[in-house]
Structure 1
Amino acid sequence: MQLSNEEEDYNLSLSKFESMLKTNKVLFFDSEEFEEIILHYLDMGKSALAKKALKLALEQHPRSSGLKLVQVEMLIYDDKLEMAEKLLNELYAIEPTNEEIYIQKANICSKRDQHEKAVEMLKIALKYTDDYADVYNLMGMEYLFMDNLELAKDSFIKCLEEDFEDQSALYNVVYCFEFLDQNQEAIAYLNKYINKNPYSEIAWHQLGRLFYGVKEYESAIHAFEYATLIDEEFLGAFMEKAKALERLKKYEEAIESYNRTLELDDATSYALLRIGKCYEKLGNKVLALKYYNKTVHEDPLLDKGWIAITDFYVRQKNFQKALFFVNKALAIDNQNKLYWKRFAAINKQMNFFEEAEFGYRKAVEFGDYQLDTWLFWVDILQFLGEFESAIQTLLQASEYFPEENEVEYRLAGLYFMLSDNIKAKFHLSNALRLNYDNYILLEDLFPVVWEKKMVRNYIDKHKKQ
C-alpha cells in the first residue's frame, strides 16, 4: 500500500528519534515533530518514552505553546492537576484565544467531577476552535457523566453534523436514544444519517439492532444485510441477522448466517448453541445434538450448553441420558442453581424422590427463589412424609412470597395433617382471602384433609358473596 507523504514523514521522524535514543546523539526536531512523537508514545501507553521525548522537546523549543499543552496533557494524565492548572494559566496569559487551553481546563474540571464547569469551558472553546466535532464530542461525554442524556444526545448529534464519520459519536448517540427509550426516534435519526452516509456499516448495524429491539425483524434483516454488503467480514452483523431470522422461524437461513460467523472467526459457543437450536426446530435431532455437544466442548463453563443437551433428552423423555448430562454439568459447576433444578426435575420424573428433594434443596441454597422451585420441593417433602420440614420450607418461602395463596393453602393442609387446627385455620383464612377459588388445592394435595367436614364448613363460611 502506498504511504502518503505525511505518513512517510511521521515514520521517518519516529525512526530518527528512536535512533537518537540508541546512539545518545542529540538530533534536532521541529516542535510539531516532537508533538507527534510524544502523542504516539502516549497512545501506545509508553509514558516513560513520552516523558523523555517531552524533556528533549522543551529543551529544544522552550517557548512552544504546543509542547507546553502536550506537557499539560501529560500532567493531567498523571493526576498532577495543580501543576497542569498553573501551566495553563501561564499559557492563557499569552494565548487567551487558544481553544486547546479551554479543552485542557475542561479535562481538569472533569477529573475533579466538576462536569458543569467543564461544559462551560468547552462552550468557550467552541468560540475559538475550527474542530467543532471534537469539542461537541467532549461536551457529550460531560453530559453523560452528569446523566443528562438529552443534552448528551444533542451534543453527539452536533458532532456528527460536523463529522459524520465519527464512529464513537454515532455509537454514543444511539446509546442516548436507547437509554431514553426513544427507539423510534433513533430509527428516524439513523435513516436520515444513512441518507447522508449510505456506506456506514456501523449505522446500518445500529439500525438493524433498533429494528430488532422493536420486533420489526424483516426490517432488521434488511439493515444487517446492508451492513454485511459494505463489510463482508462484519461478524456482529451476521450474528444479529441470524438472531432476527430465528425470530421469523427461518431456521435454515439463520444457520447459514451463524455458519458465516464461524468462517470469519474462531467458533463461539453462542453460535454453536444457536445452530443446534435451529436444527432442533427443524426436527433434525442428530445435527441438533451434534452442535449441542460442540457447544459444551468449546466452552464447558457455558451453562446454556449443558442445559440445551439436558432439555433435549428430557423432551425425548430419555431421562437416563438427561440425568447423565446434568451430572456431567454438576461435576464442572456444583453451585449452579439451574443444573440442580433440572437434576431435581429429572429425578422426580424417574420417581427418585429423595434425590429430587435434595436437588430442589440445593437449587434454593444456590439462589433459585422462584415460586415453582419452592412448591416442587415442598410437595416432595410432603410425599416423603416430612411434614415438619415441609412447613419450615414454606415459612421460608413465605418471606419471598408473603401474599401467595399456594403457599398459604399448603401451610393450612400441612398444619391440618399435624392436627394443629389453630395455625391451619389461620393459614386457610389467608389463602381464602387471597384466592378463594383455589381451595381445590386442598382436595388435590391433601385428600385426607379435604374429607374433614370441619374444613369444608370453614371454606363454605368464608365464601365470598
Structure 2
Amino acid sequence: MKDDRDYSYNEIETFELVQKYEELIRQNKSFFFDVLEFEAIINYYLDNEELANASESIRVAIGMHPYSSEIQLLKAELFITEKKYSDALVILDFLEQIHAEKSEVLFLKGQAFFNMNNFIKADENFAKSIEACTEEKSELVYRISSIYFVEEELNTAIRYLLEAHRLDPNHFATLFDLAYSFEKINEIEKSYYYYNKLLDLYPFTQNVWYNLGIVLTKQGKFDEAIEAYDYCIAIDPEYNSAYHNKANTLASIERYKEATSVFQELILLEPENPRIYCSLGECYEKTEKFEQALEMYNKTISIDPAFAEAYYGIGIIMNERKQPNLALDFIKKSIALESEQYDFWLGLGKVYYELNNIEEALKAYREATILNPDEPDAYLALAEIYLYQEKFRDVECMFDELGPKFEGNASMKVLNAAALYLSHRRKEALDELKVAKRIDPTSIDDFFSIVSVINDDDFVNQTKQL
C-alpha cells in the first residue's frame, strides 16, 4: 500500500468522512462524494485492512465515477492485497497507457510481480517507476525497499535503501532499516555506522539506542552496550526489553551483583514473568547465595510449574550441596520438560559422573554432543572419562573425528596430549602441547594437573622449552 498518499484530509477529517459515509450507507440514502473523498475513504479501509469495506466502497465509487483512473488504481491495489494479481495486472496494464501518475502504476505492477515471485519483472517495473517519478523520489525508493525488507530479501532491500539514503540522507526510516538490515546479514560494522548516524540526527530515540546495544553486544563491546541500554531506559523508563538485555549482558560478563539489581527492577515492571525470577536465581546461584537462588527458582515454578530451567537450577544447587541424588531428580525433571536442552544433559552427565555411574554419564554427554555438536564442553567431559578409563585410543579417535572444528581449543589439545603421552607417544604429545601453549600459555600446567609424570625428567624439560 502507498505509504504517503496525497490526502486533502487530515486523520480526524478522514475518520469523520468515513463515519459520514457509513451512516449514509446504513440509512440507505442517496448521496454523492467526489473522487477525492472516495480516495480518502478507500485508503482508510485499505490502510486498516478492512478489505470487505474497501471493496464495497470501490464498487460504489465506480458507480458514481466510472471513468476515474484514481479509483481504478485503488481497485488494483485492493486486488494485490487480496492476492488477485492477474486481475490487478489487467487494470494496471490499461492504466499504464492513460494514467497521469505512471510512477504509481509501475510501482504497483512491480509489487504484483514480486508477490508472484517474478522478481525480474518486479525489478524492471520498480526501475521504470523510479525513472518516471518526478517528485518525492526518495520516498518511492524507500517504499520499494520495504517490499523486499518485509520479505527478508535483505540484500536487495539494502540496494534500494542505499539509493533512498543518497536521495535523502536524513530520512529516519531509511537509516533505521539500513542499520537493521546490515545487522541481520551480519555486517555489524555497517549496522553500527548507521545506528550512530541515526543518533546524531535523532538522539532521543529509544529503540535506536536499544538496537545499538544489541549491535555493540555482538561486537563484544559490553560496557558500551550497557551504556546504550541505559540511554534507552533514561528516555523510556518502561522499555522493558532494555532492562532484559542490560541484565543479561551483565550476567554474561559475570557482573552478577549489577545484573541482580537490574532483574530486581524488572520484577517491578513484570511481576508475573517467570523468566526474570529464574534469571535472578541464576545470578544468586553464581554468587553462591544458594538460599536466595532456591527462593527465586521456587517462585519461578509457582508461576509456571513447567519452567524447566528452574528445576535444573535447583538440581545444580543440590549438587553443589553434595546431594547428588536429589540433584539427579531435579535435572531429570528439567529434561522431562525440555528434552533438547544441551546444558541439561551436560549437567546430568556431571552428576552421574560424581555418583560414579560412568555409563549413564557417557550416555548423557553423548546426547549433549548430538544436541549441540558445536559446543566443546561435552566432548571435553567425554575425553576426561576416556582418560579415567584408560581408553586412550578413544580420546584420539574422537578428536580425529572432530577434525579442525575446535582447532583453537587449548583444553582439547591438552587432553589429546595426555592420551598420547599415556600411550607412550611422547613426541606427538609434545607437538600437541606446543600448539596448546601457543593458544593458552597456562595449558602446560593444565597438562600436569591431569597427568602424573614420574621419572621422566627429560619430558618435563622438553615441555619447558616449548
Same-fold status (TM-score > 0.5): yes
Which of residues 178, 187, 190 is equivalent to 2:198? 190
The answer for the alignment partner of 1:419 in structure 2 is none
The answer for the alignment partner of 2:131 in structure 1 is 124
1:327, CA displacement in angstroms? Answer: 1.8
The answer for the alignment partner of 1:113 in structure 2 is 119
Which of residues 297, 321, 327 is equivalent to 2:332? 327
- 2:145 counterpart of 1:140: yes
1:289, CA displacement in angstroms? Answer: 2.5
The residue type paired with residue 359 of structure 1 is A
Describe how 1:362-377 pairs up with structure 2 within 5 A. Answer: 362-364=367-369, 366=371, 373-374=378-379, 376-377=381-382
Q: Residues 106 and 121 of structure 1 are in contact (CA less than 8 Å); yes or no, is this contact kept in structure 2?
A: no
Q: Residues 346 and 365 of structure 2 are in contact (CA less than 8 Å); yes or no, is this contact kept in structure 1?
A: yes
Question: For 1:279, what is the secondary structure of its paired residue?
Answer: helix
1:346, CA displacement in angstroms? Answer: 0.5
Gaps of 5+ in 1: 417-423, 452-464
For the aligned residue pairs, the C-alpha RMSD in angstroms reads 4.7
The residue type paired with residue 113 of structure 1 is F
* Residues 254 and 434 of structure 1, relative CA distance in 2, 3 Å threshold: closer
The residue type paired with residue 60 of structure 1 is M
* Residues 241 and 362 of structure 1, relative CA distance in 2, 3 Å threshold: closer
Question: For 1:147, what is the secondary structure of its paired residue?
Answer: helix
- 2:95 counterpart of 1:91: yes
The residue type paired with residue 134 of structure 1 is E
Describe how 1:109-258 pairs up with structure 2 within 5 A. Answer: 109-111=113-115, 112-114=118-120, 115-127=122-134, 129=135, 131-141=136-146, 145=153, 147-148=155-156, 151-155=159-163, 157-158=165-166, 161=169, 163-164=171-172, 166=173, 169-178=174-183, 179-180=186-187, 181-186=189-194, 188-194=196-202, 198-246=203-251, 251=256, 253-258=258-263
* Residues 190 and 43 of structure 1, relative CA distance in 2, 3 Å threshold: closer
Which of residues 14, 19, 28 is equivalent to 2:18? 14
Q: Residues 417 and 429 of structure 2 are in contact (CA less than 8 Å); yes or no, is this contact kept in structure 1?
A: yes
The residue type paired with residue 214 of structure 2 is R
The answer for the alignment partner of 1:28 in structure 2 is 32
- 2:281 counterpart of 1:276: yes
Distance 2:50 2:61 in 1: 16
Give identity over the alignment, percent. Answer: 23
The answer for the alignment partner of 1:100 in structure 2 is 104
The answer for the alignment partner of 1:72 in structure 2 is 76
* Residues 249 and 54 of structure 1, relative CA distance in 2, 3 Å threshold: same
Flag the structure with larger Rg. 1
Q: Residues 109 and 125 of structure 2 are in contact (CA less than 8 Å); yes or no, is this contact kept in structure 1?
A: yes
Q: Residues 20 and 26 of structure 1 are in contact (CA less than 8 Å); yes or no, is this contact kept in structure 2?
A: yes
* Residues 225 and 309 of structure 1, relative CA distance in 2, 3 Å threshold: same
The answer for the alignment partner of 2:54 in structure 1 is 50
Matched length: 433
Distance 1:251 1:160 in 2: 45
Q: Residues 349 and 365 of structure 2 are in contact (CA less than 8 Å); yes or no, is this contact kept in structure 1?
A: yes
Q: Residues 374 and 393 of structure 1 are in contact (CA less than 8 Å); yes or no, is this contact kept in structure 2?
A: no
The residue type paired with residue 279 of structure 1 is Y
Distance 1:230 1:382 in 2: 56
Q: Residues 310 and 323 of structure 1 are in contact (CA less than 8 Å); yes or no, is this contact kept in structure 2?
A: yes
Gaps of 5+ in 2: 1-8, 437-445, 455-465
Please, what TM-score do these two structures have when normalized by structure 1?
Answer: 0.72
The answer for the alignment partner of 2:345 in structure 1 is 340
The residue type paired with residue 85 of structure 2 is L
* Residues 239 and 396 of structure 1, relative CA distance in 2, 3 Å threshold: closer
The residue type paired with residue 51 of structure 2 is S
* Residues 162 and 302 of structure 1, relative CA distance in 2, 3 Å threshold: same
Q: Residues 235 and 261 of structure 1 are in contact (CA less than 8 Å); yes or no, is this contact kept in structure 2?
A: yes
Q: Residues 139 and 164 of structure 2 are in contact (CA less than 8 Å); yes or no, is this contact kept in structure 1?
A: no
* Residues 340 and 8 of structure 1, relative CA distance in 2, 3 Å threshold: closer
Any idea what the Cα deviations from partners look like across 1:129-159, whole Å, max 9, x if unmatched?
Answer: 3x44531312434676372576345245357
Question: For 1:73, what is the secondary structure of its paired residue?
Answer: helix
